[in-house]
Structure 1
Amino acid sequence: MTIEEAERTRQPGPATGWAALRPMLLRLHFYAGVLVGPFLLVAALTGLLYVFTPQLEQHFYAHELHVPASSQSQPLAEQVRVATSALPAEELEAVRPAPSPTDTTQVIFEDPENRASYFRTVFVDPHTAEVRGVLETYGSGQALPLRTFFDQLHRNLNLGDPGRVYSELAASWLWVVVLGGLVLWVTRRRSRIAAMFKPQVRGSRRRRVLSWHGSVGLWIALGLLFLSATGLTWSTYAGANIGELRSALAWETPSVSTDLPRPAAGDVGMDRVLAAADAHGLSGPVEITPPGDGSAYRVQEIGRSWPTQQDAVAVHPGSGEITASLPFADQPLVAKLSRWGIDAHMGLLFGWVNQLVLVVMAVALICMIVWGYRMWWLRRPTRGFGKSPERGAWRRVPNRILVPIGIAALGIAYALPVFGVSLLIFLVVDSALGAISRRRAAA
């Protein structure tokens, strides 16, 4: 009798509670792992390549980023004038004054092709006002071309917006796979609780592989759930829904008001604006955004390591006075959590410690995916033993459990559209395979 015939003729008795739910969860975990595993593997590998790009950036672009220290310095206005002369046809976006005597000033211009989040940046020696280079930069972190390449590789495989579906698919399913595997591993029968945390080095090959897969997953589960949640905030479809929810609940990240009651007469210039912000307590690297019609300068701290420095002030262009301020400490908790979550996901929050943790999680996730496929290979039907979890296990789940699960799944599918569409595809494919197997068995 074949496996499919056995499934067709099996007459399962009534089951309740966890005994009914476990086979369904096992099948979901199995198929999600097999089918989404390649996307998770690519995300882990590309994320691993990205982790140390900030250090590589400092090395490969040392000429543009760094200068010899000197006691002499040129006015910030002169540095901006020289940078503007280098790109006379482009509009000034912002200025990042040199934060130390060995750093350059970054004068940021709008991207000539109007690509979102892309800029052209002129790097100026603050001591001589010499242009050290002009490079394309990306995002609020001013990523240079090397880091931008690996950032986009991780985000969308350098395929643009269509490629972002891959990363959203991985982030949408990662938390499902992790939670499902966590429940299955914790509820597994064992003689000692400690066995959950310690991989086995003895026993059959499959038992050893399962032990490593489960115990390592238990150790890194919290970190993977964090990466899934923060990754979804950047995604195309789920990210839009998350943004709408934050807006509806007034959880958006606030910005300092630069509105003025009347247009300013004259302009005190960036040097006085920077001095006013410094006198107000802003320190470290800052970014100065020039005023528009009827608005003030905005000066924003851009330090993203711990403790986070993200205070902002508005400076009147006519008088150089502070017109508004927004300390990071006064921002809503959700806005702070969002800032910290993004920075931790990028490896910026705690410096090299943050980067090391990301490396460990990426390597562990890669190993877990490989172990998962290895378990399937050891159980493949052609070896004469084992099989994938039984088809149709959901029919044994009582309605009082199945109905709430279905309602929750619909809600999650609405909030995470890529998850919903891929889940529907999985169900259709699984049903089609079941129908084919039954037809063959009947023939």
Structure 2
Amino acid sequence: MATTYAYKVRDKQGALVEGTLDAESEALVANRLREMGYALISIDAQADSALKKDIKIPGFGGKVKLKDISIFSRQFATMINSGLSLLRALHILSDQTENAALQQVIHAVAADIESGDSLSDAIAKHPKVFDRLYVAMVRAGESGGVLDSVLMQLAETIEKQVELRAKIKSAMTYPIAVLMLVIMILSGMLIFVVPMFEAMYSELGGTLPLPTRLLLQASNLVTSYLIFIIIGAGIGMFVFKKWIATDSGRANFDKMQLKAPVFGGLVHKTAITRFARTMESLLRAGVPILEALEITQETVGNHVMEIAVADIQHRVKQGESMAAPMSDHAIFPTMVTQMLAVGEETGAVDTMLDRVAAFYEAEVEATVNALTSLLEPLLIVVLGGTVGGMVIALYMPMFNIVNLIE
């Protein structure tokens, strides 16, 4: 079992570099670091190595984005197709990669290949950067002698994932921003503006209109218990994050997302897109169908879909087609089931899945555009109505100021 070792080294310029590396022994870590061109200072085994399965680079902002992986895959494919060896291509990519975390991973992958590992085995040691989908497709590309084609296909698949995420994010950003603005305006008025009017009205005496009284009571509640409200909100967010981290919590939350009145359709179409695109990519690369279903189950991102894919895999293992068990799960629309059935009959499952993915990618884009068109005016009305309602409630006594003075 691999152990995680914390190391301190100096690079060729003499700068201190610290990080962690997984290996079977301290000697292997030392050899790998020397091969990467570092001068060793210290290497220490970490007790919690089982929890750390990838390279950590403190001080370098060690996150590798999907876009970085996409660019790496496309450039790697181009170099291999041009006749460069794996190692030479990796060294070039390492030198020109701007992301420090990815650069370290590429260094480690190159060192593993020099030690005798295959490319798929080398990248499999970095699951936080290269997921099972990536590793399985690379392994299939190595077996079939079409690594450059598979890497280019991976780049295209990842680019579509990035584009899909960007579309969903664009649909969510505006309403969240407006909601936060409403909360900030409400809080500011209740904490700072309303108490000023309350002091003025208390001097005038008389009976205030009901909307004004309710607004003043809300202001008193917020100002009196502000610290408890903030603490309660923090506890609520913490409990929610812990809840969705559990299997039952995530299952229930994913079901609620699918049934959400406005965004449920978008969540559903996104899940179908991920399923179809992942399966299409794996099958086109030559990954066996059972392994493809297993990997898709892990990467599809929705618990309801995961259960459905697990059932499909189980029944395919027993000799059934994919379309038959798929029709038993409501999350798969009839069109998807029928197209897959035709694909199985004609031996073109990957082609049909590609068409399904393309159709639902277009559906996601149309849904995002429709939601944006619907939500923008609606949220403006909500924002204006909220602020306007508070202003009217504050100034209602002014309309009857003479009666209040009397």
What TM-score do you get using the length of structure 1 for normalisation?
0.24
Normalized per residue, the structure richer in helix is: 2
Normalized per residue, the structure richer in strand is: 1
What TM-score do you get using the length of structure 2 for normalisation?
0.26
